[in-house]
Amino acid sequence: MLTESIARARLEENGQEHVFRFWDQLTGPERAQLLAQIESIDFRLMNRLVAEWVKSEPPEERFGRIDPVPVIPKGGGEDAREAWQAGEEALKQGRVGLLLVAGGQGTRLGFDGPKGAYPIGPITRKSIFGYHAEKIRNLQRRYNCSLPWYIMVSDTNHEQTRAFFEKNHYFGIEPGNVVFFEQRMVPCVDQDGKFMLDQPGCLAMNPNGHGGVIPAVVDNGIARHARNRGVDTLSYFQVDNWAVKVADPLFIGYHVMRAAMMSSKTHRKDKPREAVGVHCLCDGVYRVIEYTVLDLYPQLLETDSAGNLIHYAGSPAIHILDVGFIESLNANYDNFPWWRAHKKIPCLNERGERIEPREPNGYKFETFIFDALRFVTHDPVVLEIPRLGEYTPIKAYEGDNSVVAARESMRALWGGWLERAGFPVRRDTADKVAVDIEISPDFALNEQEFIERAKGHIYDALSDVAIGPDGRIENR
């Protein structure tokens, strides 16, 4: 642990001595906490970020030309069957692990707990983590394999996340297969680049973004753990995409057949300004351009003569990463791009009074996983997916990308499965499914499996229905 004098000297050297402003009032444990936070800070990095992003105009990248990225069509190309088999083989051989990022603060949802604990099931109140776990149970049974589940958490939620898994008996997953690991935190800075205090003995800090998974996987021994198990392929997904197909054999198949370092899924953007990144080739280099900088590249908003968006390839943040690629990215992490977000950050003023700002008053710095794509040296591997049943992120309670939209997508998806399996489903006058429906992913991961396994059961969705892992109705 850092001593007080070394911490003081370090802060002074870097123009952050105000962090000790309330030192004399702090208790022993508060002092220890502050010293631990100071010790964790990479001052060289912070000075660079402040110089580049706060003290000067943020860097803007310009490209000579931006081309659409080649995309493998929905369901795969002519080699789909071969890819599917290659993916299944990789699963059976135990080459695949799951990499879930769940360290975010979930501020927009405003739920009191980790986002993955949100009870998204409209009938069962099953959590998002519970849904992901049921998909994993299904795959493990189907391929007779054991999928290590690496879950990135952060200082903001690790205790609650672990406690939630324990309370729920790891959702039926072997606890030894679930490995939590923590990402790093970075200090928030005010408009002058000064660190902000959340409490007299505690800096305001934020997790270093989902790109923080790269150093976190290496620093916490996850890459080594994976290698020791013979795992070289990590299926990356984000906790808030309730619908994601975890370890999709088709996607894994394309990744392994093409010996890719990193592969991505893409969905068609539903409007030019949809709040997702866009896969493209910038002067020949594969990139995802983040939606927040879309206005720098107006060609990304252009449509063809039929009115279709030319750069339609949205990024749903679903990837596969090779373990060796993560290690090589980490070795060069100093070159990884950072981003700045201007935010309302509750903090203490000079007198120690708590401020709940109405306007953005400071910056959070983060790295993003999709920026790893610019370091890929092979041809892009990008597989198109339908939105329904694969991409329904939950960012807020209502509106686009919300709890309400996710539940509506459950009705549309599973209502369709029930009808095509021959069961009645109540629809409203606008032909929308008018009841809540849940089908456990442990029972069926896709329509084909549902139709197969539903034989011998009788379901009707004339009122709300929840079908459990064993196919029995489990309305509660």
Chain residues that interact with ligand UTP, rule: CB under 6 A? 101-108, 115, 152, 154, 183, 207-210, 212, 238-240, 366, 395
Residue 113 C-beta: closest distance to ligand UTP, Å: 13
Q: How far apart are CA 71 and CA 379, in angstroms?
A: 11
Q: How many residues does the chain have?
A: 476
Residue 398 DSSP SS3: coil
CB neighbour burial string for 107-127, b if at least 16 within 10 angstroms, e if fewer = ebbebebbbbbbebbbbbebb
> Toward ligand UTP, which CB reaches closer, 84 or 363?
363
> Toward ligand UTP, which CB reaches closer, 239 or 444?
239
> Toward ligand UTP, which CB reaches closer, 196 or 439?
196
Q: How far apart are CA 157 and CA 163, in angstroms?
A: 10
> Toward ligand UTP, which CB reaches closer, 223 or 435?
223
- Tell which residue, 113, 141, 108, 142, has the closest CA to residue 125: 113
Residue 262 C-beta: closest distance to ligand UTP, Å: 16
Taking the chain, what is the end-to-end CA distance rounded to the nearest angstrom?
A: 51
Q: How far apart are CA 69 and CA 271, in angstroms?
A: 18
> Toward ligand UTP, which CB reaches closer, 371 or 436?
371
Cβ(151)–Cβ(100) below 8 Å: yes
Q: How far apart are CA 49 and CA 160, in angstroms?
A: 31
Residue 299 C-beta: closest distance to ligand UTP, Å: 26
> Which residues touch 133 (CB under 8 Å, ≥6 apart)?
170, 171, 172, 173
SS3 of the chain: helix, strand, coil, percent, to 5:
35, 20, 45
The DSSP bridge pattern shows strands 465-467 and 437-439 to be parallel
Q: Count the alpha carbons within 13 Å of 203 in the hemisphere toward its beta carbon.
A: 30
Residue 291 C-beta: closest distance to ligand UTP, Å: 12
> Toward ligand UTP, which CB reaches closer, 114 or 389?
114
Residue 463 C-beta: closest distance to ligand UTP, Å: 33
Residue 410 C-beta: closest distance to ligand UTP, Å: 19
Helices of type H across 41-151: 43-53, 80-92, 128-142
DSSP state of 470: T
> Toward ligand UTP, which CB reaches closer, 201 or 206?
206
Q: Which residue is nearest to ligand UTP (CB)?
A: 104
Residue 228 C-beta: closest distance to ligand UTP, Å: 24
Cβ(317)–Cβ(382) below 8 Å: no
> Toward ligand UTP, which CB reaches closer, 115 or 245?
115
User: How much is the CA Rg of the chain, to the nearest whole Å?
Assistant: 24
Q: How far apart are CA 28 and CA 451, in angstroms?
A: 62
> Toward ligand UTP, which CB reaches closer, 38 or 239?
239
Residue 116 C-beta: closest distance to ligand UTP, Å: 8
Residue 150 DSSP SS3: strand
> Toward ligand UTP, which CB reaches closer, 106 or 380?
106
- Tell which residue, 368, 348, 365, 370, has the closest CA to residue 357: 348
Cβ(68)–Cβ(311) below 8 Å: yes
> Which residues touch 456 (CB under 8 Å, ≥6 apart)?
none
Residue 394 C-beta: closest distance to ligand UTP, Å: 8
Residue 277 C-beta: closest distance to ligand UTP, Å: 11
Per the DSSP assignment, residues forming a β-bridge with 288 are 279
Q: Which helix (H) or strand (E) holds 310?
A: none
> Toward ligand UTP, which CB reaches closer, 76 or 207?
207
Residue 97 C-beta: closest distance to ligand UTP, Å: 17
Residue 462 C-beta: closest distance to ligand UTP, Å: 36
- Tell which residue, 318, 336, 339, 434, has the closest CA to residue 384: 318
> Toward ligand UTP, which CB reaches closer, 263 or 402?
402
